[in-house]
Structure 1
Amino acid sequence: MKAFYLFLLIFIYVSCTNQIEEKTDLLEKKLEVTPILSLSFDSLLQEVRKLPIRQQIKIVYQAACKNGEEIDGLIKQKNLLLESLSFASKKEKKKILLRLLELYERLAEQRWEDSDSKGIQLSKELETNYSFSQEEEWEIRKIKASLLSKRGLHEQYLPIWFELLAEHRIADNPKLIIEDIFAIANYFAILGDQEKSISLYKEAYELIIENHLPDLTQQCLVRLIYLFYNTQQYEEVVKYTNEIELDSMVSFMPPVYSILSLSYLELQTPDSARFCLIKMNHGLKEGNGMSINCRIADTYIAEKNIDSALVFLNKAMTQFNNQVEQLQKRSIKTSLPFNFLSTYSSLATLYQQNENYEQAVKLFALVEPLMKISITNPVQLEKQVDALIRYSSFCRATKQYEKA
């Protein structure tokens, strides 16, 4: 009889265990496809609360590991993990806290409350109280460095990256070495040490090529091209943009044709600049190429080809007039866009050099109001100053000394 009751007890236990496992699996699958901010998710969560603690923690952890959440979803994931901590074993806590650290990093990117300081504190707690694999330890320090950077604590942030770089070199892990160099190079760029930043990105690019890591190629090229352009190293801009097929480069660096065209103009190769601008223009919707037409006109002005410059300036002006007409129907006032200033003042100077003062005065008069508006953008301010210098020179040449 005792054997019978023992068998019955085991049978009931196994049956209950199987039922719990089946219910756990079913809830896991449902939660996996249910949006975390939905009422359906909350209803399923109530069902989870009825399960044994171990199953609850397992399901909640998996729900908190779903990627692709917006800020409200991240906050909910964080709260779910915090709630489960008090019931978790030390092994489970370690796993939960690691995920929580990742969430704090994501929330810090969204500038949510003091998630950066909480993440820094948590990373210190993890380093002190738990042991990790080498890879996990690197990831914790990487997140810690990222959070310190967001707090502006660069004196603490940079040493971590140099330590990681040294360890990754010893481990001979090219991908991690490159990521470390990216982080350090970005730091020097923020400080304004562009040359040091360029040197580091060049080192990273060589490693990328040597180790055949195409997924990092684009990221490195984008940063290098911007740095070269900002430091007026136009030949380097051209050299590095030629490292990859340009049309494919547009997908991850939309301004590449614009930057390349400006670089070609600075290098006094207006025909190459024009090619880039025409490629840009083909990718624009009709009516959106006003600025491009002005810039194509600039390439002809550089070649002193007034007739061709006028063709594209007239296109730009026609587009502007069409825009004015549409805005007037909605009782919206508008004025000549700022991007006309540089082109018209340059063309006016070319007319002046050809002693066609009548055309020059018309063009300067057209853009004179743009010379007087208040500007804070450094690039636009530079163009405004250039236009004022041209106009002042014209006024002196035509003996308008008071205006000059």
Structure 2
Amino acid sequence: MEVLPLSSGKNRKKILLQLVMICSNLDRFGVTGAYLEGLKWIEMLEANHSFSQKEEWQVNEMKALLLNERGNQDEFLPIWYKLLKQYREADRPEDVGKCLLTIANHFVMLEDYENALPLYKEAYQLALEHKSIELQQVSGIMLIKYLCGAGYYSESLEYYKKLNQEIVFNLSVQNEVVKSYMELNKPDSARIYLAERSLSDKGDKIALNCMMAETYTLEKQEDSAFVYLDRAVKSYKEKTKYYQGKDREVVLPGYFLSTCYLFADLLWKKGKVQQANQYYTFVEPLMKEVVRTPIQMEFQIKALTNFSSFCRETKQYEKALDLLARRDSVLQTYLEFKAKNDKKNYAERLKIQELKHELNESEDVNRINTHVAAICIFLLVISVAATFKSISMYRKLKKQGAVNYRLQGMIKKCDEGDVPESHSASMDQYELLFWQALHKVRDEQYFLKSDLTIETLADVLNTNRSYLSVSINRFCDKGFSVWLNNFRIQHAEQLMRENPSIALKDLPEQCGYATTGTFVRNFKRCHNMSPSEFMNKLLIEQTLPKVEKTFQ
């Protein structure tokens, strides 16, 4: 900073780049105000210096990282999307993967798994194609965690099985692997995984024993659960005793809460009141501890509710009231946090949708401007003899524009059943893929298949899930599930109109639904009434004219 006023030209640019890099590193280490200082140096760089392509990428990456600190996605997301496009065009797979992960992580922060997961999958596929071990590890871990978080347990385990042992025993995926096995009703597989972790000497033995005990508790196997929970408690007490004389406090780990209160519930239901009270009391400090995350609050609310019910039944009324008061306090904090967070996330998602739309429009404008500039230069250098050819090209472009205009009109009516008369030769890959999908789902009635998913449809069309999802979103402005269900509900409506006496219990299966509940929910979304109410409405509409005719 002292040398900067004395320097000029290339040396000044080099010093400013070093200052930006230093501020970026300081920001990563949590130094207050470092990001503001870094943005100031970037502003000076951009105002007074030109960059090579590599320098421009470097500066934009650091700028995006520093803007992340402000939390204003309107500023940093466009930079990441621009970098993603440029890295793809320059065939820089590692940098493409970095951008994909950064954007996906932002979507995860907004709990928008629908947009995050395709990006993680694309990064993982990119890592496989270019044998990038680091990118494969990071994207693989993210897929295991967030597929489980979004409820795709089987798919989460598929990625877990693909990864090498170093990732398999990664602490950050431990809970997700066990949860996926338990949700799929495979407790033995969960226990085998925990046993392997325990033998590998790479995990927290107390935590592993707690998780093992919980798998048995959920199956109501009291004796086996007690063995592992007792091991965990003894290990914790030994650790506490060891550090007692060393002026180091050992705090009761948070993972004891879920395991102990569930085990206490099991003992209580079996009439073992005294033992249940011991385990409830053991984790009572964790129930009353101030926590910050929604998951921890959920555990506290459940534990406090169950413990207060236990105290009420065992005539510990004062304690029961105290626990309920604490439960209500945590519940209020939890609801306020969720409401605020949901509102913020929803607003941020809307902003991202607008941002994507603006970026697409900007790309279209740039593309048009490029074409216009090329045509102008062409017109300046060609001779009079080429005029006829220029007019011919203009007419061709105009005609093509009319075709595209008609296609856009048809795309907007895709839900109303209009099919384009012919495919345009100028269709990009997304347009073509959309019409192929529409032909399969609507015209060949793939929507009647109850097991149809976006993955199976992508396989039929020889593409992948991400491209198909983007195509449908782009041309119908809705996700695959809503798009598919609209065809099914239209078919159901047609069946009811053709046969008002049709049995409603048979209707879901005839329309491609595996369960009646899913059918009813989607029908209400489309018509704001249940299928039975809609059927009654049809009967009334068809009966009234006959009645009026009779009276006349």
Report how far residue 395 of structure 1 moved.
7.6
Aligned mates of 2:233, 2:168 — CA distance in 1? 27
Task: Find the counterpart in structure 2 of residue 312 from structure 1.
Answer: 228
Report how far residue 129 of structure 1 moved.
2.0
Aligned mates of 1:335, 1:161 — CA distance in 2? 41
Task: Find the counterpart in structure 2 of residue 260 from structure 1.
Answer: 177
**2:214 pairs with 1:302:** no
**2:209 pairs with 1:290:** no
**2:288 pairs with 1:374:** yes
**5 Å matches for 1:15-164?**
82-164=1-83
Task: Find the counterpart in structure 1 of residue 530 from structure 2.
Answer: none
- Provide closer, same or farther for how the CA distance between residues 222 and 334 of structure 1 changes in structure 2, counting only shifts above 3 A: closer
Gaps of 5+ in 1: 1-81
Q: Which amino acid aligns with 2:274?
A: K
Q: Which amino acid aligns with 2:198?
A: N
**Preserved contact between residue 258 and residue 277 of structure 1 (Cα < 8 Å):** no
Equivalent residue in structure 2 for 1:364, among 270, 273, 276: 276
Report how far residue 388 of structure 1 moved.
4.6
Alignment deviations for residues 289-314 of structure 1 (CA, whole Å, 9 cap, x no partner): 33322221222233433332222233
Alignment deviations for residues 180-217 of structure 1 (CA, whole Å, 9 cap, x no partner): 22222222223332321222222222222233322311
Report how far residue 157 of structure 1 moved.
0.9
Aligned mates of 1:329, 1:130 — CA distance in 2? 62
Aligned mates of 1:348, 1:218 — CA distance in 2? 39
Report how far residue 242 of structure 1 moved.
1.4
Deviates more, 1:259-268 or 1:313-322: 313-322
**Preserved contact between residue 258 and residue 280 of structure 1 (Cα < 8 Å):** no
**2:190 pairs with 1:273:** yes
Task: Find the counterpart in structure 1 of residue 527 from structure 2.
Answer: none
Aligned mates of 2:43, 2:227 — CA distance in 1? 65
**2:144 pairs with 1:225:** yes
**Preserved contact between residue 341 and residue 367 of structure 1 (Cα < 8 Å):** no
Aligned mates of 2:26, 2:211 — CA distance in 1? 41
Aligned mates of 1:201, 1:97 — CA distance in 2? 34
Equivalent residue in structure 2 for 1:322, among 202, 214, 238: 238
Q: Which amino acid aligns with 2:277?
A: A
Name the SS of the counterpart of 2:51 in structure 1.
coil
Report how far residue 332 of structure 1 moved.
9.1
Report how far residue 260 of structure 1 moved.
1.4
Name the SS of the counterpart of 1:111 in structure 2.
coil
**2:297 pairs with 1:385:** no
**5 Å matches for 1:322-341?**
322-323=238-239, 325-326=241-242, 339-341=255-257
Alignment deviations for residues 24-80 of structure 1 (CA, whole Å, 9 cap, x no partner): xxxxxxxxxxxxxxxxxxxxxxxxxxxxxxxxxxxxxxxxxxxxxxxxxxxxxxxxx
Aligned mates of 1:135, 1:337 — CA distance in 2? 47
Q: Which amino acid aligns with 2:238?
A: N
Q: Which amino acid aligns with 1:269?
A: K
Report how far residue 160 of structure 1 moved.
1.4
**2:109 pairs with 1:190:** yes
- Provide closer, same or farther for how the CA distance between residues 336 and 135 of structure 1 changes in structure 2, counting only shifts above 3 A: closer
Aligned mates of 2:254, 2:11 — CA distance in 1? 60
Report how far residue 366 of structure 1 moved.
0.9
Q: Which amino acid aligns with 1:364?
A: A
Aligned mates of 2:14, 2:54 — CA distance in 1? 14
Report how far residue 324 of structure 1 moved.
5.4
Identity of aligned residues (%): 34
Name the SS of the counterpart of 2:171 in structure 1.
coil
**Preserved contact between residue 144 and residue 177 of structure 2 (Cα < 8 Å):** no
Report how far residue 338 of structure 1 moved.
5.4
Aligned mates of 1:390, 1:295 — CA distance in 2? 20
Task: Find the counterpart in structure 2 of residue 72 from structure 1.
Answer: none
Aligned mates of 1:136, 1:334 — CA distance in 2? 49
Aligned mates of 1:280, 1:118 — CA distance in 2? 45
Name the SS of the counterpart of 2:288 in structure 1.
coil
Report how far residue 105 of structure 1 moved.
1.2
Task: Find the counterpart in structure 2 of residue 43 from structure 1.
Answer: none
**Preserved contact between residue 345 and residue 363 of structure 1 (Cα < 8 Å):** no
Q: Which amino acid aligns with 1:166?
A: K
Aligned mates of 1:176, 1:339 — CA distance in 2? 38
Report how far residue 164 of structure 1 moved.
1.7
The TM-score normalised by the length of structure 1 is: 0.67
Task: Find the counterpart in structure 2 of residue 249 from structure 1.
Answer: 167
- Provide closer, same or farther for how the CA distance between residues 175 and 264 of structure 1 changes in structure 2, counting only shifts above 3 A: same
Name the SS of the counterpart of 1:83 in structure 2.
coil
Q: Which amino acid aligns with 2:207?
A: S
**Preserved contact between residue 87 and residue 96 of structure 2 (Cα < 8 Å):** yes
RMSD: 3.3
Aligned mates of 1:104, 1:380 — CA distance in 2? 35
Aligned mates of 1:241, 1:313 — CA distance in 2? 27
Report how far residue 316 of structure 1 moved.
2.5
The TM-score normalised by the length of structure 2 is: 0.50
Gaps of 5+ in 2: 322-552
**Preserved contact between residue 324 and residue 334 of structure 1 (Cα < 8 Å):** yes
- Provide closer, same or farther for how the CA distance between residues 103 and 366 of structure 1 changes in structure 2, counting only shifts above 3 A: same
Report how far residue 244 of structure 1 moved.
0.7
- Provide closer, same or farther for how the CA distance between residues 163 and 105 of structure 1 changes in structure 2, counting only shifts above 3 A: same
Deviates more, 1:343-352 or 1:182-191: 343-352
